[in-house]
Amino acid sequence: MSFMRKVPVEVVDEMDRMESRVAFLCAACGAFSILNEEELDAMTGKKVWEGLFYWTQDLEDMLRRLNELANPE
């Protein structure tokens, strides 16, 4: 049994974009982590946390789509 398989070009093309989005999210979380509580409260609000929710939801949708492309059934 071979574990090697071909990965669709669409998946390979999207992986770089996805990696960039994840890298940005890591950097943003790192920036939040170095703020003290007062600075964090001053910089963030409900819209910021909603934006983070939507950003991660978009990443999840993208990953699901890539998985479906890579593993058609």
Q: Which of 16, 7, 2 lies closest to 62, judged by CA?
A: 16
pLDDT given for residue 1 in this prediction: 46
Band (60; pLDDT cuts 50, 70, 90): very high
- Alpha helix locations (H) across the chain? 9-33, 37-43, 46-70
Q: Give pTM, 2 decimals.
A: 0.70
Q: What is the largest CA-CA distance in the chain?
A: 57
pLDDT digits (tens, 9 = 90+) for 1-43: 455 567 778 888 888 888 999 999 999 889 888 988 888 888 8
Q: Which of 4, 28, 17, 14 lies closest to 66, judged by CA?
A: 14
